[in-house]
């Protein structure tokens, strides 16, 4: 292992200690997690679980409960956002005064790539192997191995055909990446 790789691993370990032992001690995470220090996290029910080999880019925002699988990349400036953060139907109550809902979470399954600036609303499940294009706004569940793009994050194609999905899943199972 070269010296630069050792330094990067050491710096990531220090960053993870600062983030997950001091700033956000309730976060549960696996091995090889890379979360930039300027990522902002607010999980109303203190539910943020990340599997192994997860990367969250700079200036991403998490303001809802989230469960993230293994081998997931979330690009910079992405938002995992609560769709029910404020109850807007309370007569006589301003939006500022409204109570928080926070009853939904986001589930991101294994082998997912969320592109730069994408926004995913709570209550959504992103299926295994999916790709969320840069700038997409995801308001509905995304089927496994789909590629979605805005407006309103529609499936534009499949990442693999059915045979390749089975081959891909089997290869990942053999490597211990998925079950």
Phi and psi torsions of 15, nearest 5°: -60, -40
* CATH number for 43: 2.160.10.10
The answer to whether residue 14 sits within a structural domain is: no
The answer to whether residue 12 sits within a structural domain is: no
| Virtual torsion, Cα 139, 84, 72, 178, nearest 10 deg | -90
The answer to whether residue 6 sits within a structural domain is: no
d(CA 38, CA 40): 6
The answer to whether residue 163 sits within a structural domain is: yes
Is there a contact between 112 and 94 (Cβ–Cβ < 8 Å)?
A: no
Q: What is the pLDDT of residues 119-161, one digit of tens each?
A: 999 999 999 999 999 999 999 999 999 999 987 777 888 888 9
The answer to whether residue 43 sits within a structural domain is: yes
Question: Nearest CA to 52 among 108, 113, 110?
Answer: 110
Distances (CA, A) of 148 to 24, 41, 52, 62, 72: 31, 25, 24, 20, 16
d(CA 12, CA 33): 8
The answer to whether residue 18 sits within a structural domain is: no
The answer to whether residue 148 sits within a structural domain is: yes
Structural domain for 118, as ranges: 27-174
The answer to whether residue 17 sits within a structural domain is: no
When divided into structural domains, the chain yields a total of 1
Is there a contact between 31 and 52 (Cβ–Cβ < 8 Å)?
A: yes
pTM: 0.87
Is there a contact between 74 and 57 (Cβ–Cβ < 8 Å)?
A: yes
Q: What is the pLDDT of residues 41-97, one digit of tens each?
A: 999 999 999 999 999 999 999 999 999 999 999 999 999 999 888 777 766 777 777
């Amino acid at each position: 292992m070269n010296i630069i790789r050792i330094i990067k691993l050491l710096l990531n370990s220090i960053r993870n200690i600062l983030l997950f032992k001091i700033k956000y001690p309730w976060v549960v995470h696996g091995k090889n997690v890379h979360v930039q220090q300027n990522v902002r996290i607010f999980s109303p029910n203190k539910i943020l679980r990340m599997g192994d080999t997860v990367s969250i880019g700079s200036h991403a925002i998490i303001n809802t409960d989230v469960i993230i699988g293994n081998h997931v990349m979330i690009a910079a400036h992405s938002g995992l956002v609560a769709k029910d953060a404020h109850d807007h139907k309370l007569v006589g109550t301003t939006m500022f005064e409204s109570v928080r809902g926070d009853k939904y979470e986001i589930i991101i399954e294994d082998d997912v790539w969320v592109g730069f600036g994408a926004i995913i609303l709570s209550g959504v499940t992103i299926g295994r192997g999916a790709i969320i294009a840069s700038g997409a706004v995801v308001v509905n569940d995304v089927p496994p191995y789909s590629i979605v793009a805005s407006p309103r994050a529609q499936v534009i194609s499949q990442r693999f055909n059915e045979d390749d999905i089975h081959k891909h899943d089997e290869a990942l199972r053999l490597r211990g990446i998925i079950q």
